[in-house]
Structure 1
Amino acid sequence: MAEDMNQVEVKDLNVGDVISGKVTKVEEKQVYVSVENSKLDGIIPISELSSLHVEQASDVVTEGEELELSVIKVEEDALILSKRVVLANKAWEDLEQKFNSGEVFEALVRDIVKGGLVVDLGVRGFIPASLVENHYVEDFSDYKDKTLTVKVVELDREKNRVILSHRAVVEEEQKSQKQQVLESLQVGAVMEGTVQRITDFGAFVDLGGIDGLVHISQLSHEHVSKPSDVVEEGQVVKVKVLSVDRDNERISLSVKETLPGPWASVTEKLSVGDVVEGKVRRLVSFGAFVEILPGVEGLVHISQISNRHIGTPHEVLKEGQEVQVKVLEINENEKRISLSIKDLEENVEEDYKQYQQQEESSGFQLGEMIGDQLKNLK
């Protein structure tokens, strides 16, 4: 009688049927399940538990767990079942939908293999090394058991081929973020950025998804020979937005305009009558511009360069020359300082005249003193 009942039950189940089963026992290489409305034992071989390699069954299922299974073989005393087939069928349907829509989803990295990463999606998914990040990765060991956002870039059910990309997701996110930052930028805004790259003509600063250029002339109020003298890669700097070209995605920035100007409180550092050292920065037809403080230049008018008549400043001075100058006038509001070299020459002449007068008043001359000594020798 029992055999007849089993025969009836067995005839009701066919290869390909999807049934529910409850795990009753977990062995190392197989799992036993009880099948509803059947007195036959259900057996899941370890190879049918997952699309990926499984070392032992307990890594995948636990006793008492309810599973959806596919019948892959009907034997007289048991049903051979597969969890893998059910998961794969559902996975392919889901992946086809995600592939067609371009959906971004999460996947757990199960294994690191030569050439990339393996994920379990119900079917085996592969992320090639070149599609993991948008930069070179030397060692992928840290990616094991890590969840990545991915999208399907290639799908072929007949070849059981599923190619995924995390890089595509990262690049899309960066593009979106770049556009958002570009749209939000306003000329005159002051913000922080990170120096990404240094060139001969300036530094590129990341504003959070898009780079802007700080030209060498905008790095400091002082003269800059090369950008690396002022900034370094990875440095966080404050910048002011000078211009935004959204069509060509070009942004001009300035570090200089976020710093206190060299003319700030210049009258606290200089006074009329001060004698200071300076360097000739520019020679023009009407005089010489001399830098007397970092970023602060004063004009030595041609009439204040020398006591003798000169046709051009080039007759007396050259660019880069160190000179002593006297401060004649300071106009902080208009950022103008008048300087003189001639006045210092006059001081030298005056000092010499005073020396001569002192000699005369002392009652003897140098020549007389030498003459007396010569007489004594005779």
Structure 2
Amino acid sequence: MVEKVIFEIGDVVKGTIEQIEEKQAIVSVGGKVDGILPLKEISNVHIEKVTDVLSVGEELELKVIKVEEDNLILSKRAVDAEKAWDVLQERFDNKVSIEVTVTEVVNGGLIADVGVRGFIPASLVSKNFVEDLSSYKGTTFEVLVEEIDREKNRVILSHKAVEIKETEVQRKAAFSSLTVGQIIEGKVERITNFGAFVNVGGVDGLVHVSQLSHKRVENPAEIVSVGDLVKVQIISIDEKTNRLALSMKSVQPGPWDELKEDVKVGAVVEGIVKRLTNFGAFVEIQTGLEGLVHISQISEKHIKNPKEALEVGQTVKVKVLDLKKEEKRLSLSIKEAQEAELKEDYSKYIQPQENAGFQLGELFGEKLKNFKTK
């Protein structure tokens, strides 16, 4: 004769699933009574069918929530919750992540079973904006406990916090592998009006607009596009502010490295006026190579401001007065270029004295009045 076991509400018992029905599971707990585990008492999150989470023969730890004459009403979620609160509190206190599976997508966020019902607000799903949360249903990922309140049965979780933490770990590892002066390949991630952000070794660094090219750049999009693979040199690292300064210009041949043969002292070349200042004009004579035309070298006439004689974008001829490649210094003269051109013009017409049948003044008129012999 089997002795009848006495159960009371609140008892925690071990049982084995003997049968699964549509809305409940029948559990053997010993003695003459059957244990009934209703669908709603299986989990702290919504499930459609018992078979979604349980199977025949599975052993469970269950709590008695009601005693009937021939049956015990049992709860798995009550036992899970008791255990979960202690674990969640410990994880919250020590900022340790836990792995969860998303069971529902609800208005404003996601639901995950962590022994109790855990809520992940939409703003804490990812560090990047997520437009459609439906793709997260059934996915498993790490979360941190952001907020816990046992009395209110409230648990707020964050996957975003885990992503940020992982990014910081990756950033520190990446920074430790980078050195100033290192040349490395990176991918253009973003373009702004002040430069381009390039990802190198898992961290983003800024290539300032002034470091994109040897030539003057007004819009970074003229030089690079998002997704481009580019070579950069690391010019500074600041781990405290997480700032990485990069240069594309420093790994490219500069105009001084590719100086054209005709650019030499005394040569007259063509250029474009790029900038005007109070003391002169900067003229580009080959891509990225600018020289200064001092205000005194702009015109034979006395001018108080370069704007009186020049405008940005104007094409002019200049004479190379001084060129120091080591110092990257170039001095130019528009005035002397004009004089050199004038000399060349009238030299074509000079004949031996016995054949001269005209005066130079007849050929050049006013030009000679302004000409000074160097």
What TM-score results when the alignment is normalised by the length of structure 1?
Answer: 0.77
Following superposition of structure 1 onto structure 2, how do residues 1-378 of structure 1 map, counting pairs within 5 Å?
Answer: 5=2, 8-11=3-6, 13-35=7-29, 37-182=30-175, 184-207=177-200, 211-233=204-226, 235-267=228-260, 276-281=269-274, 290-298=283-291, 314=306, 318=310, 320=312, 321-325=314-318, 335=328, 342=336, 345-355=339-349, 357=351
CA distance in 1, matches of 2:297, 2:85: 89
User: Which structure has more helix as a fraction of its residues?
Assistant: 1
Once the two structures are superposed, what CA deviation does each residue of 1:282-319 show, in whole Å capped at 9, x if it has no partner?
A: 6799986532111123566899877x687899599536
Identical counterparts, % of pairs: 53
Write the letter of the residue equivalent to 1:318: L
Between 103-112 and 344-353, report the one with greater CA deviation.
344-353
The question of whether the paired residues in 2 share the 8 Å contact of 1:131 and 1:167 is answered with yes
CA distance in 2, matches of 1:352, 1:222: 38
Once the two structures are superposed, what CA deviation does each residue of 1:340-366 show, in whole Å capped at 9, x if it has no partner?
A: 6546644544444534759x96999xx
The question of whether the paired residues in 1 share the 8 Å contact of 2:317 and 2:337 is answered with no
The question of whether the paired residues in 1 share the 8 Å contact of 2:17 and 2:26 is answered with yes
**Residue number in structure 2 paired with 1:368:** none
The question of whether the paired residues in 1 share the 8 Å contact of 2:276 and 2:307 is answered with no
Shift of 1:81: 2.3
Between 185-194 and 163-172, report the one with greater CA deviation.
185-194
Write the letter of the residue equivalent to 2:10: G
CA distance in 2, matches of 1:287, 1:17: 94
Shift of 1:146: 1.0
The question of whether the paired residues in 2 share the 8 Å contact of 1:272 and 1:327 is answered with yes
**Residue number in structure 1 paired with 2:361:** none
Shift of 1:191: 3.0
CA distance in 1, matches of 2:245, 2:115: 50
The question of whether the paired residues in 2 share the 8 Å contact of 1:245 and 1:251 is answered with yes
Write the letter of the residue equivalent to 2:13: I
**Residue number in structure 1 paired with 2:372:** none
Stretches of structure 1 that go unaligned for 5 or more consecutive residues are 365-378
Going from structure 1 to structure 2, the CA distance change for 1:302 and 1:95 (only over 3 Å counts) comes to closer
Between 292-301 and 75-84, report the one with greater CA deviation.
292-301
The question of whether the paired residues in 2 share the 8 Å contact of 1:118 and 1:126 is answered with yes
Shift of 1:58: 1.6
Shift of 1:73: 2.9
Shift of 1:338: 6.9
Going from structure 1 to structure 2, the CA distance change for 1:279 and 1:59 (only over 3 Å counts) comes to same
Shift of 1:50: 1.4
Q: Secondary structure at the match of 1:86?
A: helix
The question of whether the paired residues in 2 share the 8 Å contact of 1:288 and 1:300 is answered with yes
Shift of 1:14: 2.9
Going from structure 1 to structure 2, the CA distance change for 1:283 and 1:135 (only over 3 Å counts) comes to closer
CA distance in 2, matches of 1:115, 1:300: 65
Shift of 1:251: 3.7
The question of whether the paired residues in 1 share the 8 Å contact of 2:298 and 2:306 is answered with no
Q: Secondary structure at the match of 2:78?
A: helix
Shift of 1:120: 0.9
Going from structure 1 to structure 2, the CA distance change for 1:316 and 1:139 (only over 3 Å counts) comes to closer
The question of whether the paired residues in 2 share the 8 Å contact of 1:219 and 1:230 is answered with yes
CA distance in 1, matches of 2:276, 2:87: 76
Once the two structures are superposed, what CA deviation does each residue of 1:147-194 show, in whole Å capped at 9, x if it has no partner?
A: 121111222222221111112222223334344444554322223444
Q: Secondary structure at the match of 1:110?
A: strand
Between 140-149 and 341-350, report the one with greater CA deviation.
341-350
CA distance in 1, matches of 2:41, 2:185: 55
Going from structure 1 to structure 2, the CA distance change for 1:9 and 1:256 (only over 3 Å counts) comes to same
Going from structure 1 to structure 2, the CA distance change for 1:121 and 1:281 (only over 3 Å counts) comes to closer
Between 94-103 and 115-124, report the one with greater CA deviation.
94-103
Q: How many corresponding residue pairs?
A: 356
CA distance in 1, matches of 2:227, 2:25: 55
The question of whether the paired residues in 1 share the 8 Å contact of 2:268 and 2:337 is answered with no
Write the letter of the residue equivalent to 1:259: Q
Shift of 1:230: 2.5
Going from structure 1 to structure 2, the CA distance change for 1:56 and 1:269 (only over 3 Å counts) comes to farther
The question of whether the paired residues in 2 share the 8 Å contact of 1:286 and 1:312 is answered with no
Once the two structures are superposed, what CA deviation does each residue of 1:78-112 show, in whole Å capped at 9, x if it has no partner?
A: 33322222222222222222222221111100000
The question of whether the paired residues in 2 share the 8 Å contact of 1:267 and 1:330 is answered with no
Shift of 1:248: 4.3
What TM-score results when the alignment is normalised by the length of structure 2?
Answer: 0.78
